[in-house]
A and B are shown apart, each in its own frame.
Chain A
Amino acid sequence: MAIVFDGTRESYVEGLSEFLNSGQKDAPEWVTTLRREAISGFAKLGFPTLSDEEWRFTNLEALRRGSFSIAENGISGVSKKSVDSYGFSGLDCLRLVFVNGRFASSLSDTKDAGEGILVKSLSEAISEQSDLVKGHLARYADYEKDAFISLNTSYFEDGVFVYVPDGTVLEKPVHVLHVSTDEDRPLFINPRNLIVIGQSSVAKVIEHYVSASQSVYFSNVVTEVVCGENANLEHYRLEFESQKAFNFSTLRVNQQKNSNIASHSILCGGAIVRNNVHPVLAGEGCNSDIYGLFISEGRQHMDNFMRVEHASPHCDSRQFYNGVLDGRSKGVFHGRILVHEGAEKTDAKQTNRNLLLSDTAQIDTKPQLEIYNDDVKCTHGATIGQMDEEALFYLRSRGISMRQAKIIMLRAFTGETLEHMSIDPVREVLEGVVMKWFEKRLQNGKGR
């Protein structure tokens, strides 16, 4: 029988024992214990409400009213061909495919990762590299403070596990494709990813969420990243869920001394989307570059929640987030920078620029600096506006059509964030997707 969550806190709490009995019988003891601890976290927290400071702009009423269940079917219904269509042409990469949260090994290709490198499904790693996984899993993403992390930690089934030992370069990018399919009931899917990059090692990981249908589901992602001393990670989160889906995701990064991360979040799908990006610059001399682009239409709601935590001296962080909003969609940019007491010589910068294509689109942008130290440089800036009329006229006065002028302006605006992607085939595909989106908007006669 399916495990059904009727939206109440109790149903999510009580569902766990059935979940443990059905699919998780062979799980190691420590994982079961972890799940139990996590659900007691959720039992205390429940879903956040508007009175919660960090959720002021995002109403979860629809999620609380919804009924969701854990997927019962296997990975059928997704073909190799359709998976290929989500690929990045010209990109030589490793690929892991998950369907409704479960690993589809027949659609995946993880050969030739390199000496000592592990790129596999997390559930496999839990049984085969139990100690290694145990040392990191749920050590960073706090299931006692965040309800969605609690739920994910309780109910996750699978996701990617990437382990790059010290002094190693993972040559090929890892493409992690999560596909959701049309099911009888709205699904509750909890992808869980763990990425561990050793000292002076390098990796690129692309998390990609797509939907083969336009159905309702509740996708709740948690990714934990450990970036060892002097390591370098480029991470992508490409969110193209169904327009009716609920998508919550957390990227929790732990950065050790002199490590670098570049994080790219592209949000495009989903009815209600919340993307948490939470790097902790734990060691000295770290660098975090956080880029984001969200494009919304209709009644989409996209909440971008940044929490950049400077915990050590001499670290730099940069946030560049751009939003394009059309229709009656709503955007939120919450940019929190937290500088701890000992984090001298912090240099943190945040920029959020928003372009409204309609009179009814709306954006709430809110910087939040929390600084417990005098010796820091923190700057933030936000803009909200329509397309620059003067620039449009200038382009038209050179013979360029109104439509083309708008496309040029939009491309420039979205390019501000996309141009920082180092994997060209990914950037090119995204530019294409964004272009198509614009063209559709301009065809409807909208988008001034």
Chain B
Amino acid sequence: MLEVKNLHVQVDDKEILKGMNITVAPGEVHSIMGPNGSGKSTLAQVLAGKEAYEVTEGEVTFQGKDLLDLEPEERACEGIFLAFQYPVEIPGVANTYLLREALNAKREYWDEKPLKHIEFAKLAREKMKTLGIDEDLLKRSVNAGFSGGEKKRNEIFQMQILEPTLAVLDETDSGLDIDALKIVANGVNSMRDSGRSFIVITHYQRLLNYIVPDFVHVMVDGKIVRSGGKELAYELEEKGYAGF
């Protein structure tokens, strides 16, 4: 589904990703762990199409297409979703409005009819219930004045509505208490199926107790330095990153 080969990325002439490789097959959950500043968010943002990051070498293919050739909105319509580490606040734009625009943009891309107001409202209400999200969060401006937990939950809510093929979760667990963490994990687990893949970026092994990955990768200084099964997460928990 996703193949990242020898990816080099720089910002302001500073190289951040230094030959990144990762291959994700349909239905798999990959976890990327690594110390602060190792380039995890950079990878996530590059996959979503952030222009400030310059790809100097390497390639990324997504379902056979050259991902780097696509605009951010095309990537989203093709099925990529990024849950931001720091979701952006957009005052004056209602959460529900953003979501409906987004969903209908995707439907239009696939030549489907846009959802009517009521159809959308029904869909949103269903998803909200399972995530324990307040109805009033829908009406509020996107992320504006949301608590840290609300922002993260809102990202998962968007993911549930948009039903991506590949979801990249960038530290969606940080700052969450255990109850919120379980809700977020449930939101992810309920979407797991043979056609959908996840890249779960995290700092802590804690999340992986709830979202059990097929593969764990350790990222240090812009590269994957070791890959393994879920037991690698426990090893990291014990030894820290110092050994890598």
User: What is the interface of chain A, defined by CB distance below 8 A to chain B?
Assistant: 388, 390-391, 393-402, 404-405, 408-409, 411-413, 415-416
Q: Are A399 and B88 in contact (CB under 8 A)?
A: no
User: Can you list the 5 inter-chain pairs with the closest CB atoms, starting with the nearest?
Assistant: A412-B92, A399-B76, A398-B102, A394-B88, A396-B72
Q: Are B105 and A391 in contact (CB under 8 A)?
A: no
Which residues of A lie under 8 Å from residue B51 when comparing CB positions?
A: 393
Which residues of B lie under 8 Å from residue A415 when comparing CB positions?
A: 92
Q: Measured between alpha carbons, how far is A396 from B99 in the docked complex, in Å?
A: 12
B162 at the A interface (CB under 8 A): yes
Near A by CB (< 8 A), chain B positions 77-125 give 77, 81-82, 84, 87-93, 97-99, 101-103, 105-106, 109
> Contacting A396 at CB < 8 Å: which of B76, B92, B158?
B76
Which residues of B lie under 8 Å from residue A390 when comparing CB positions?
A: 88
Give min CB distance, B165 to chain A, whole Å. Answer: 13
Q: Are B105 and A399 in contact (CB under 8 A)?
A: yes
Q: How many A-B residue pairs have CB under 8 A?
A: 80
Give min CB distance, B19 to chain A, whole Å. Answer: 25
Q: Are B90 and A399 in contact (CB under 8 A)?
A: no
Given A399-B109, A400-B101, A404-B105: A412 and B73 within 8 A (CB)? no
Q: Are B73 and A416 in contact (CB under 8 A)?
A: no
Given A394-B84, A395-B98: A400 and B73 within 8 A (CB)? yes
Q: Are B98 and A399 in contact (CB under 8 A)?
A: no
How many B residues face the partner with a CB closer than 8 A?
33
Q: Are A395 and B90 in contact (CB under 8 A)?
A: yes
Q: Are B87 and A408 in contact (CB under 8 A)?
A: no
Q: Are A398 and B98 in contact (CB under 8 A)?
A: yes
Give min CB distance, B115 to chain A, whole Å. Answer: 13
B50 at the A interface (CB under 8 A): yes
Interface centre among B73, B89, B102, B103, by most A CB within 10 Å?
B73
Q: Are A401 and B87 in contact (CB under 8 A)?
A: no
Give min CB distance, A417 to chain B, whole Å. Answer: 11
Give min CB distance, B141 to chain A, whole Å. Answer: 8
Q: Measured between alpha carbons, how far is A370 from B228 in the docked complex, in Å?
A: 69
Q: Measured between alpha carbons, how far is A401 from B105 in the docked complex, in Å?
A: 8
Given A391-B90, A394-B84, A412-B93: A402 and B101 within 8 A (CB)? no
> Contacting B71 at CB < 8 Å: which of A391, A402, A404?
A402
Give min CB distance, A239 to chain B, whole Å. Answer: 23
